[in-house]
């Protein structure tokens, strides 16, 4: 796989973390094609992603987060309704749903991520986790917008793209105090960033494109409010509303 020279100069660069290992670098078995049972893993990742953490955090404080703020169960609405600390807990939980199981699967079970079929399986697992968060069966297939979970998936598989997207999100959100604008811009940069940092890795370009497109799709109502000038701005405060 062609790797841009400047990427190799990154301090702490280690092939297999910042970039997918080159094909044949870490042969763990003769046949790198996932078996039939391994293709059932996306179902497991969907269930992991479907855990409605924001909703459960609200219930722990005696409120239904769906009845407050924007009605979304994601970290932004948890922050808006319950305060900064709870919002950070929600974001971290949703991030780990996408990152931790996928990273463990990649590093412990499927070291040869340079194999096209293995990379495809990992991408399917990541997308399943995002879909589980967005369309959780535990709440009538209505969930969050997938930003934190998508970030976890990207961090596990294409961390350079994640780093650029996160930087975009932080700068834009702080400048506008509008999370939706930061999320939308972060989603837009995903495909070009994947093409730049991982040239020729079309499986990962597909992941970035689908994750970004799904994030934009889930922000349809936010786009309408932005155009109407009625989108809420986030307050960087740790205060929370009292439970009803």
Per-residue pLDDT of 116-158, as tens digits, reads: 788 899 999 999 999 999 999 999 999 999 999 999 999 999 9
Banded pLDDT at 6 (limits 50, 70, 90): very low
Instruction: Look up residue 150 and give its two tokens.
Output: 């998508």
Q: Which of 34-43, 72-81, 234-243 has the highest mean pLDDT?
A: 72-81
What pTM did the predictor assign? 0.82
Kindly state the helix (H) or strand (E) to which residue 160 belongs, with its residue range: helix 159-176
Other Cβ atoms within 10 Å of 75 Cβ, number? 27
Residue 113: closest CA among 204, 209, 5, 4: 204
Tell me the chain's radius of gyration from C-alpha atoms.
Answer: 19
Could you tell me what percentage of the chain is helix, strand and coil, using 3-state DSSP and rounding each to the nearest 5? 65, 0, 35
Tell me how far apart the alpha carbons of residues 234 and 181 are, in angstroms, rounded to a whole number. 11
Question: For 180-184, what is the mean pLDDT?
Answer: 96
Tell me how long the chain is: 244
Are 52 and 73 in contact, with CB atoms under 8 Å apart? yes
CB environment 94-126: b (16+ within 10 A), e (fewer)? bbbbbbebbbebbeeebbbbbbeebbbbbbbbb
Are 19 and 106 in contact, with CB atoms under 8 Å apart? no
Banded pLDDT at 8 (limits 50, 70, 90): very low
Tell me how far apart the alpha carbons of residues 179 and 193 are, in angstroms, rounded to a whole number. 21
Residue 86: closest CA among 69, 102, 99: 69
Share of the chain above pLDDT 90, in %: 70
Per-residue pLDDT of 60-113, as tens digits, reads: 999 999 999 889 999 999 999 999 999 999 999 999 999 999 999 988 865 554
Q: What are phi and psi of 92, to 5 degrees?
A: -60, -40
Distance linking the first and last C-alpha atoms of the chain: 57
Are 240 and 82 in contact, with CB atoms under 8 Å apart? yes
DSSP string, 8-42: HTSTT--TTTSSPPPTTSS--SS--S--TGGGGHH
């Amino acid at each position: 796989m062609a790797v841009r020279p400047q990427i190799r100069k990154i301090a702490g660069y280690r092939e297999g973390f910042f970039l997918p290992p080159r094909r044949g670098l870490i042969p763990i078995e003769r046949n790198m094609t996932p078996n039939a049972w391994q293709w059932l893993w996306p179902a497991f990742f969907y269930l992991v992603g479907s855990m409605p953490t924001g909703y459960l955090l609200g219930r722990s404080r005696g409120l239904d987060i769906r009845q407050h703020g924007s009605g979304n169960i994601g970290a932004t609405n948890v922050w808006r309704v319950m305060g900064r600390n709870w919002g950070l807990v929600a974001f971290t939980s949703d991030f780990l749903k996408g990152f931790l199981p996928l990273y463990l699967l990649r590093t412990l079970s499927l070291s040869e991520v340079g194999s096209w079929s293995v990379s495809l399986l990992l991408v399917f697992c990541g997308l399943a986790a995002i879909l589980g968060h967005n369309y959780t069966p535990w709440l009538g297939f209505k969930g969050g917008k997938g930003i934190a979970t998508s970030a976890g998936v990207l961090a596990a598989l294409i961390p350079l793209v994640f780093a650029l997207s996160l930087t975009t999100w932080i700068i834009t959100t702080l400048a506008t105090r509008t999370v939706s604008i930061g999320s939308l811009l972060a989603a837009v940069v995903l495909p070009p960033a994947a093409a730049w940092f991982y040239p020729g890795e079309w499986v990962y370009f597909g992941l970035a494109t689908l994750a970004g497109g799904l994030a934009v799709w889930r922000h349809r109502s936010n786009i309408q409010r932005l155009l109407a000038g009625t989108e809420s701005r986030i307050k960087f405060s740790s205060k929370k509303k009292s439970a009803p």
